[in-house]
Structure 1
Amino acid sequence: MLKYSTFQSFRSFQQQKPKAQFLYRVIGASPGEFSVGERRKSKGSLWQDGFQEMMRLCGLGYWVQGFRCFPWLTLNFHMAHNLNLDPSTLQLVQNFGNLPMVAKPLFGILSDALSIGGAHRIPYICIGGPVLGQLALFPDACQALPALMACVLLSNTGAAITEVAKDALVTEYGQKNRINGLQSYAFIALAAGGILGNLLGGYFLLKLPSRMMFLVFSVLLSLQLAVFASAREECLGLARPLGHITTGQSVSENIRKQISDLMIAISEDSIFRPLTWIVASIASVPILSGSIFCYQSRCLHLDPSVIGMSRVIGQLMLLSLTVLYNRYWKEIPMRKLIGAVQISYAFSLLLDLVLVRQINLCIGIPNEVFALCFSGLAETLAQFKILPFTVLLATLCPRGCEGSLTSFLASALCLSSIVSGFWGVGLATFLGIKSGDFSKLPIGILIQFLAALLPLGWIHRVPMSLSDEKKRKKGLSKRNRKPEGLEELWLVQFMLTDEKENLMQSSREAIWELLMSI
């Protein structure tokens, strides 16, 4: 009897298999997550639904972002004509109001590290939308500059939160599904919103009071809030698993980890070198937008609809350039493309000199027509120059840092534009450009032109080809990083090996007992 029971004990050990439930508890997964057949069966339909939902969210979100020019055009005319601000003060207010954009890395780190209801992107868009519309809720803010400045800062804080979340959503979805055209699609939606915003802004500026135009924009923000509040990140396939954050790990520890990952990502040459070039190329050019705007509206007495339509033409050009880049120019070496755009941008700044010197009248072109066709060209090229860098960094962005890295890029670009604006204020003050004296404005434009050529001296920091950077990044990842998606499989293999060793030990003990009984 002893022999038989011992032999049965030995057979039970031989036939025993590792306990699956124990492994699932260790890796924080359920058996359904490893059902490959079911995932393949429903993958096509789920991806199709998620892609359509993503296109809807991306299109609406960036269209509303581009439509922000609608209230901003109103605000600029209000400060120039109703508050009678001089050009330097007007430009100072414009740049100071963009300071919340510098805090984008903070919002990006929070978006990556802290989930709200199991989602990391859409809730932040829903939070930032109502904050963005705060300018319409203060009817007396338009009468005093300090109150108006507070509303602008609060509104731009909401804009920064929504922009960070949208950029991270686009980058994360594009990386997960290997879609490289989402940034171009976002630029197209952004340009379309800018076209309609400037077109309607120039028309309704003469028909409606400022507060009414702010309320119209708030209605659009409410529509965006309703659409995004009804969306779910699970439908996009971006929901983080429950085991994404280690058990017992505090939010502060996770934030520190995100900061560390961001620093590591930025320190890589493939990201750091092009990032420093685009930031320096913007910050090195003093912008005289406030002086040019006051000159057009006060000296040339251009109608608001003309200025609004010039912005529309600029956005149409941006839309066309984006389509051309997405269709044809992606094949051009990035360094050559950026060099050509930078040279074109420098010479486009001289078009303001033509308008100030009234050279256009000598060749029979009225001020309205010239401003309508060429006034927004420099701004359009400056915006388009960012697109290749956005595509590059979105491609090279490490997984888990989508919000942090894209927000850092946006913050760096915003900070460089603020520095550029402050340079412009200092230059205008140094040259003595005032509301009643624009005689030194041509000198300022020539200084702008020379400064725009300086970044060509270090254009070697821009990669020659996007595909080369992707290959180099892929090779670096294979050498230095754990293969993506294999952490759980490695843990399962480890547990299977451990269980196998236990079974072997038990089998040896059972054989020994059997031999001893004989």
Structure 2
Amino acid sequence: MLTLSKPCPNPHLLTYKPKTRPISLPLQISNSSLDPKRRTSHKAFSISTSQTSNTSYVSKQAKPVQLKPAIGMWTLCGLGYCVQGFRCFPWLGLNFHLAQGIGLSPGALQLVQNFSNLPLVAKPLFGVISDAVYIGGAHRLPYISIGVCLQLVSWGTLALIPPTANTFPTQMACIILSNVGASVTEVATDALVTEFSRAAETGELQSYAFIALSAGSLLGNLSGGYALLYTHDPKLLFMTFSFFLVQQLSLALSTKERTIERRHIGTIPLRDNLQSQISNFVQAVSERQILYPLCWIIGSVAFVPILSGSIFCFQTQILNLDPSIIGLSKVVGQLFVISATLLYNRFLKRIPLRTLVSGLQVMYAFALLSDLLLVKQINLSLGISNEIYVLSLSALAEAIAQFKLLPFTVLLSSLCPRGCEGSLLAFFASGVVLASIVGGFLGVGLSCLIGVSAANYSNLPVGIIVQFLAALVPFCWISCLPLDWSPEDKKVRRNDERKRNFLLQKKIE
């Protein structure tokens, strides 16, 4: 739980006329049951299969009209991010099942977590397809429905098969399929938010998405801990999550995707359409304003070895903490994310990006170091019980790492060329996931190097200190971030747009 803009026209279809500027309005979602009075007119039309085909391309160069997002869009995206955050609910049960039911070691548990996240790296592919390929005249809602169906099949299967070591390969296949579905759904939802953010106040929709994501995570961790404590049955968690997926699928199927804009519609071969979309995406990512911040955030995540599996096993096997305590600690972390997001939308977005991110990175480093007090049991000498300490600080580093993505989401969404909403935000999300996987494998290697195992945690403090030092290394390339940019900046890159349009016109001529 992945906003700056400029047009990105298709060079195969775009034609130029002297002193003529095309007009375009942003994509709008409306629910027929929520907005029955909305009808198309000469300024608005609804995409249908009679107007476009699956390979239709739409030129989206234009000045956006400031419209409030439809109620259906708010509901669909809010529920989507909430369900995305609620995925921690079945994952909490899955982690306890893998660690205690099957008996995986800390390193093996972390390997399973990282390997299962590999489908999330394919998000750019899903983003390009979502931007270029229309299904039934729509290119967001169908992908949300497909992704939800994949998740529903995977978690429903996990709820039905026996949770034993003999079924472990089937469980892994279901976990991977679930993450494939989650990737497709998240890409389409992120693209919707990016498109609508052009018609709203800068950062407003991104903050709304972060709050919905954190609220879902808060609910999932809170209820997941108590569910495991009183039932000790992961299948109940899998079945409950499947019920929420059914609700999301029902809303996606009952919501119509409607485009309110004047634009030129043409039908071209799917291959040419995809090639054009990939070319525009590569051109967008190659721009310094986008590439440099991407390199910093991805590098800052990848460089820090993650010891979450070792810390989790230490808390459950050595400290013997109840599942409810682990879940409540995540709840506290998500409360921090929600509070920080509200502060960001109100005050923090006025702070220049480099200054804000630098402060967050320092906080992240010291939050990682706080685990040292728990492992060395210094908290007991200070009169703080393990339960209170874990509740207060255990999930702080994870919460800061999650919130740190918000300023970059706003930045990239603001710079995102029109027509590349799905692919660019998907590239950002997959880059962060890939960096997390790299950090996870570094954490596994570090655990093996210092000799951390299920029977020996004596060298875990060394790993925590290495984590702290690694979190400070990204300051070496902090200059990649813009010095004075903030979401309050209303500057539009007119020169870049004119230059791009001029070059495209020359290429066509």
TM above 0.5, one fold? yes
Shift of residue 117, structure 1, vs aligned partner: 1.1
The aligned counterpart of 2:319 is 300
CA distance in 1, matches of 2:162, 2:420: 38
The aligned counterpart of 2:330 is 311
Shift of residue 239, structure 1, vs aligned partner: 7.8
Deviations 1:433-460 (A, max 9, x none): 1000001100000000000000011111
Matched, 1:224 2:224: no
The answer on whether the counterparts of 2:123 and 2:184 sit within 8 Å (CA) in structure 1 is yes
Deviations 1:9-38 (A, max 9, x none): xxxxxxxxxxxxxxxxxx9xxx96469xxx
From 278, 300, 314, the equivalent of 1:281 is: 300
The aligned counterpart of 1:137 is 157
Shift of residue 52, structure 1, vs aligned partner: 2.0
- Cα 1:114–1:275 change in 2 (3 A) is same
Deviations 1:473-517 (A, max 9, x none): 51333431449xxx9xxxxxxxxxxxxxxxxxxxxxxxxxxxxxx
The answer on whether the counterparts of 2:229 and 2:322 sit within 8 Å (CA) in structure 1 is no
Aligned residue runs from structure 1 range 105-124, under 5 A = 105-124=124-143
The aligned counterpart of 1:185 is 208
Matched, 1:421 2:445: no
The answer on whether the counterparts of 1:310 and 1:372 sit within 8 Å (CA) in structure 2 is yes
The answer on whether the counterparts of 1:119 and 1:240 sit within 8 Å (CA) in structure 2 is no
CA distance in 1, matches of 2:202, 2:215: 22
Aligned residue runs from structure 1 range 216-295, under 5 A = 216-234=240-258, 237=259, 243-244=264-265, 246-247=266-267, 249-295=268-314
Deviations 1:213-237 (A, max 9, x none): 1011001000011111111121xx4
The aligned counterpart of 2:12 is none
Matched, 1:441 2:441: no
The aligned counterpart of 1:174 is 197
The answer on whether the counterparts of 1:136 and 1:211 sit within 8 Å (CA) in structure 2 is no
The answer on whether the counterparts of 2:43 and 2:261 sit within 8 Å (CA) in structure 1 is no
From 322, 339, 346, the equivalent of 1:320 is: 339
The answer on whether the counterparts of 2:203 and 2:410 sit within 8 Å (CA) in structure 1 is yes
CA distance in 2, matches of 1:471, 1:129: 37
SS at match of 2:138: coil
SS at match of 1:189: helix
The answer on whether the counterparts of 2:225 and 2:327 sit within 8 Å (CA) in structure 1 is yes
CA distance in 2, matches of 1:391, 1:238: 24
From 103, 109, 113, the equivalent of 1:84 is: 103
Normalised TM-score (structure 2): 0.83
Normalised TM-score (structure 1): 0.81
Matched, 1:397 2:416: yes
Amino acid at match of 1:211: K
In terms of fraction of residues, the more helix-rich structure is 1
The aligned counterpart of 2:188 is 165
The answer on whether the counterparts of 1:288 and 1:428 sit within 8 Å (CA) in structure 2 is yes
From 395, 404, 425, the equivalent of 1:385 is: 404
Matched, 1:203 2:226: yes
Shift of residue 466, structure 1, vs aligned partner: 2.8
Matched, 1:464 2:483: yes
- Cα 1:34–1:316 change in 2 (3 A) is closer
Shift of residue 136, structure 1, vs aligned partner: 2.2
Amino acid at match of 2:163: C
Amino acid at match of 1:228: A
Identity value in percent:
53
The answer on whether the counterparts of 2:82 and 2:214 sit within 8 Å (CA) in structure 1 is yes
SS at match of 1:379: helix
Amino acid at match of 1:402: E
Aligned residue runs from structure 1 range 335-414, under 5 A = 335-414=354-433
Shift of residue 148, structure 1, vs aligned partner: 1.3
Gaps of 5+ in 2: 1-22, 24-39, 45-65
Deviations 1:102-157 (A, max 9, x none): 00001000100001111111110011001112122242263232221111000000
The answer on whether the counterparts of 2:410 and 2:487 sit within 8 Å (CA) in structure 1 is no
Aligned residue runs from structure 1 range 30-109, under 5 A = 33=42, 47=67, 50-109=69-128
Shift of residue 53, structure 1, vs aligned partner: 2.1
SS at match of 1:228: helix
Deviations 1:175-226 (A, max 9, x none): 2556531001000000011111000000001233211210110010000111
Amino acid at match of 2:136: G
The answer on whether the counterparts of 1:396 and 1:470 sit within 8 Å (CA) in structure 2 is no
The aligned counterpart of 2:469 is 450
- Cα 1:263–1:344 change in 2 (3 A) is same
CA distance in 2, matches of 1:177, 1:328: 17
Deviations 1:295-354 (A, max 9, x none): 000000000000000000000001001100110001111101000000010011111100
CA distance in 2, matches of 1:324, 1:337: 12
Matched, 1:215 2:239: yes
The answer on whether the counterparts of 2:351 and 2:486 sit within 8 Å (CA) in structure 1 is no
The answer on whether the counterparts of 1:119 and 1:239 sit within 8 Å (CA) in structure 2 is no
**Which is greater in Rg?**
1
In terms of fraction of residues, the more strand-rich structure is 2
The aligned counterpart of 2:50 is none
